[in-house]
Chains A and B, each alone.
Chain A
Amino acid sequence: MKSRIFKRTAAALATVGAMALGMGAAQADDPLKVGFVYVGPVGDFGYSYQHDQGRKAVDEKFGNKVKTTYVENVAEGADAERVIRQLAQTGNDLIFTTSFGFMNPTIKVAKQFPDVKFEHATGFKRAENSATYAARFYEGRYVAGVIAGKMTKSNTIGYVGSFPIPEVVRGINSFMLGAWSVNPDVKVKIVWVNSWYDPGKEGDAAKALIDQGADIMVQHTDSPAPLQVAENRGVLGFGQASDMIKFAPKAQLSAIVDRWDDYYIERVQAVMDGTWKADDTWGGIKADMVHMAPFTNMPDDVKALAEETEAKIASGEIHPFAGPIYDQAGELRVKDGENADDGMLLGMDWYIKGIDAELPK
């Protein structure tokens, strides 16, 4: 154990050192230089961590044909522009900016560096040399909902939310549509912690929900704390962004894992082949950008149902937001026989009918 930790620490230090050297030693044998900008620390074991796993996959795949660099903990706003420009100036050929708030800085720098290619995650602005990409996490949440609907005994789901933005609201709606597809009696209790990342508060929120009868924990915050509470209190739950089974070997049913590996490899390959285009990618389970961690702690029939649901979403047979869908006011939002379009999904700021809670404004 000790030596393993020592190795990890040494590897981390080596990475830092290599980065520093990398800045100085440009244009050695012309590898393709790829830069990444993260909003959080790579050590969050969540969102930024998964992006960095994607970067490492690129490294592994292309070896010395690429040279990747990352900058972590970049604040959204003016600081981001400086970091992105710095990466462009130091000869990076392809730059991934991985948070919503990097959108405008990315577009601005992209205009100044027409020869550099940019990719911005979760945004909607593109330029001739700037593409966008995101993942349909709500597909994974639908699968989780199906599992929860089958597994809950108290028919009460505890949901820890970060901020009431469309991404999170869409997730809650999708989760409940999945749960109701197998169990119409399921209720959801939602607690907003107004933070993406505060392990203590996330854990307290989970305790509050469990104390009030929830026996399945779902979270849309980034730390493993809620799942860890579920493990200690003997209820079940889902991991977020990463496979968190280590934190909850008896509690984790599955996890909705962000998986950028294939996408990053594909885009780097496209730049090498000269086929790269500034297009928009919104991939889900089918593209494996949303990846379900192994289904554990559930009986075989539920597991089979989860796998089937996952496969059907991949094939397009199930669309989580298939009509008819009503909002809480009873207004028909998606007609029978139709699916919610991407525009509606991206701007979703209403709960579906049946959710007994008020959306904070």
Chain B
Amino acid sequence: MDWIVPLILTVITASTPLLLAATGELITEKSGVLNLGVEGMMLVGAISGFAVTVSSGSAILGILAAIVAGMLMSLIFAFLTLTLMANQVATGLALTIFGVGFSALVGSGFVGFPLDPLPSLSIPVISTIPVIGPILFSQDFLVYASIAIVIATGWFLTRTRAGLILKAVGDSHDSAHAIGYRVIRIRYMATLFGGAMSGLGGAYLSLSYTPMWAENMTAGRGWIALALVVFATWRPGRLLAGAYMFGCISVLQLHAQSAGVNVPSQFMSMLPYLATVIVLVIISSDYTKIRLNAPACIGKAFRPAQ
């Protein structure tokens, strides 16, 4: 059984960046905005976090920089789609392409710099409890933050007035506008939150998961985060489960190979994506269920009547 603890530790680190980015996108989508630029925002967050940490020596500053960089990226998106009413799908794709190129340009001077990973917050005494100690009480603080944020998100959406307003805006922007809510402003804020979380997810990659900068280092995790939001049918609890299930499958397949289990490695690499598709099909087959959670106005531009 000694293999199980390190396995779980690896699963936690593999799941955290997905969870961070997906939580942000969930809020963005709940407000009725579909931002497909997660991958690009994560990359810009990753290089900003890395560059600032290397230059200043402070990981806290680096993480703040990543959050700000992610927000700036999403601000571009929000301005184009919410103020100028550009198509959200096309703009989101463009944002990803821009993020890939921009992060590579900024990052060209930072290739090959080593960096120590974020320190883990070992809580004295209880972190030495076997099994539970290393898993629950000696992670770095971004891991704790990711779980805390997803729980806070669930609470926010169901238990607060602001959360209900956000959902109202996402479900029917015309009605929300008619009651007097400022649809565009609320959507700006939700989009900025999405950008901040994507930036944070990117920073987790470049500061903790694999502490280095390398071009395109997200390697598609932004797209997985997007899929996760749909997979979770826009519910934070399911998002948490989904992110960890995804991390678990992708890590388990590596362990299985290493243990000599004879399954084609190409199939194993495909498995997480396959699982997402299967669960999507199962969930979507129950039409009423998905309708209850899906923001009805997602991707639609809001033009306030004069």
Binding site for B on A (CB under 8 A): 1-2, 5, 8-9, 11-12, 40-45, 49, 158, 164, 189-195, 197-205, 207-209, 211-212, 214, 223-225, 228, 232, 242, 246-247, 356-358, 360-361
Residue from B55, B113, B258, B269 within 8 A of A189 (CB atoms): B258
Complex alpha-carbon distance, A42 and B217, angstroms:
14
Closest-by-CB residue of B relative to A232 is B117
Kindly state whether residue B60 has any CB partner on chain A within 8 Å.
Answer: no
- List A contacts of B55 (CB < 8 A): 1-2, 5
Extra 11 A-B pairs, beta carbons < 8 Å, given A201-B219, A223-B217: A43-B104, A44-B215, A189-B259, A197-B214, A202-B210, A204-B13, A207-B254, A208-B251, A208-B255, A212-B258, A225-B212
Closest beta carbon of chain A to B19's beta carbon, Å: 14
Which residues of B lie under 8 Å from residue A208 when comparing CB positions? 7, 10, 251, 254-255, 257-258
Q: Cβ of B6 and Cβ of A207 under 8 Å apart?
A: yes
Q: How many Å lie between the Cα of A9 and that of B111 in the bound state?
A: 11
Q: Verify if B163 is at the interface (C-beta below 8 Å from A).
A: no
Across the interface, A44 reaches (CB within 8 A) one of B13, B214, B221, namely B214
Check B130 for interface membership: any CB of A closer than 8 A.
Answer: no
- Contact: A199 with B265, CB < 8 Å? no
Complex Cα spacing A242 to B250, Å: 28
Instruction: Give the Cβ gap from B49 to chain A, nearest Cβ, in Å.
Output: 15
Whether A247 and B215, one on each chain, are in contact in the complex, defined by CB atoms closer than 8 angstroms, is no
Contact between A223 and B214, CB atoms less than 8 A apart: yes
Docked-complex contact B14 and A12, CB < 8 angstroms? no
The reply to whether the CB of B154 lies closer than 8 angstroms to some CB of chain A is no
Which B residue sits closest to A12, measured CB to CB? B108
Task: Report yes or no: B211 in contact with A43, Cβ–Cβ below 8 A.
Answer: no
A246 contacts B219, CB within 8 Å? Answer: no
Look across to chain B and name the residue whose beta carbon is closest to the beta carbon of A48. Answer: B215
Cβ 8 A contact of B10, one of A8, A41, A198, A207: A207
Q: Using Cβ atoms and an 8 Å threshold, which residues of chain A touch B107?
A: 43
Contacts of A246 in B (CB 8 A): 112-114
CB pair B108–A223 under 8 Å, yes or no, is no
The 26 listed contacts between A and B (C-beta, < 8 Å) are A8-B109, A8-B110, A45-B111, A49-B112, A194-B265, A197-B219, A199-B212, A199-B214, A200-B14, A200-B210, A200-B219, A204-B250, A204-B254, A207-B251, A208-B7, A208-B10, A208-B254, A211-B258, A212-B3, A225-B210, A232-B117, A246-B112, A246-B114, A247-B114, A356-B260, A357-B260
Q: Is B264 an interface residue (CB 8 A)?
A: yes
Of all chain B residues, which has the CB nearest A207?
Answer: B10
In the complex, the answer to whether A41 meets B219 with C-beta atoms within 8 Å is no
Given contacts A192-B265, A195-B219, contact A9 B109 (CB under 8 A): yes
Complex: A49 Cα to B106 Cα, angstroms: 16
In the complex, are the beta carbons of A200 and B257 less than 8 A apart?
A: no
Label chain B's interface by main secondary structure. helix
> 1/0 contact trace for B244-287 toward A, CB 8 Å?
00000011001101111010111001000000000000000000
Q: Is the CB of B54 within 8 A of A5?
A: yes
Q: Which residues of B (198-226) have their CB < 8 Å from a CB of A?
A: 205, 209-212, 214-217, 219, 221
With the chains together, A207 CA to B10 CA distance in Å? 7
* Chain B, Cβ-Cβ closest to A40: B215
Residues of A within 8 A of B7 (CB): 208, 211
A333 to B212, CA, bound (A): 43
Closest B residue by C-beta to A194: B269
For the complex, what is the distance from the CA of A224 to the CA of B212, rounded to whole Å?
8
A contact residues around B219 at 8 Å (CB): 195, 197-201
The verdict on A12 contacting B251 (CB below 8 Å), with A43-B215, A225-B212, A228-B212 known, is: no
| Given A44-B215, A45-B112, A358-B262, A223-B269 contact (CB < 8 Å) | no
CB contacts (< 8 Å) of B51 on chain A: these are 5
Which residues on the B side are within 8 Å of A207 (C-beta)? 6, 10, 251, 254
- Chain A residue at minimum C-beta to C-beta distance from B212: A224
Q: B109 and A189: CB pair below 8 A?
A: no
The answer to whether B111 and A205 touch across the interface, beta carbons within 8 angstroms, is no
| A5 contact set on B, CB distance < 8 A | 51, 54-55, 109-110
* Nearest CB of A to B278, in Å: 20
Complex CA gap A319/B119 in Å reads: 46
A244's nearest neighbour on chain B, judged by CB, is B112
Q: Which of chain B's residues have a CB closer than 8 A to the CB of A9?
A: 106, 108-109
Query: What's the Cα separation between A11 and B264 when bound, in Å?
Result: 45
B264 to chain A, nearest CB (A): 5
How distant is the Cα of A41 from the Cα of B14 in the complex, in angstroms? 25
Give chain B residues whose Cβ lies under 8 Å from the Cβ of A199: 205, 210, 212, 214, 217, 219
Q: How far is the CB of A361 from chain B (nearest CB, A)?
A: 8
Most buried by A among B3, B17, B108, B260: B108
Question: Are B104 and A211 in contact, CB atoms less than 8 angstroms apart?
Answer: no
Chain A residues with Cβ below 8 Å from B215 are 40-41, 43-44
Q: Is the CB of A228 within 8 A of B258?
A: no
The residue of chain B having its C-beta at the shortest distance from the C-beta of A223 within the complex is B214
| Identity of the chain A residue whose Cβ is nearest the Cβ of B9 in the assembled complex | A207
B254 lies within 8 A of A191 (CB): yes
Tell me the smallest distance from the CB of B143 to a CB of chain A, in Å. Answer: 15
Question: Which of B3, B111, B257 sits near A191, CB closer than 8 Å?
Answer: B257
B79-132 at interface with A (beta carbon < 8 Å): 104-114, 117
Chain B contacts for A214, CB-based, 8 A? 258
The answer to whether B210 touches A242, judged by C-beta atoms less than 8 angstroms apart, is: no
**Cα–Cα distance between A356 and B258 once the two chains are bound (Å):** 11
Docked-complex contact B258 and A191, CB < 8 angstroms: yes
The CA-CA distance from A11 to B107 in the complex, in Å, is 13
A190-B257 contact in complex given A9-B109, A201-B219, C-beta closer than 8 Å: yes
Contacts of B210 on A, CB cut-off 8 Å?
A: 199-200, 202-203, 223, 225, 228
Q: Are A12 and B109 in contact, with the CB atoms below 8 A?
A: yes
Q: How far is the CA of A11 from the CA of B54 in the complex (A)?
A: 18
Minimum distance in angstroms from B200 CB to a CB of chain A: 16
- Complex CA distance for A361 and B254, rounded to whole angstroms: 17
A42 neighbours in B (Cβ, 8 Å)? 108
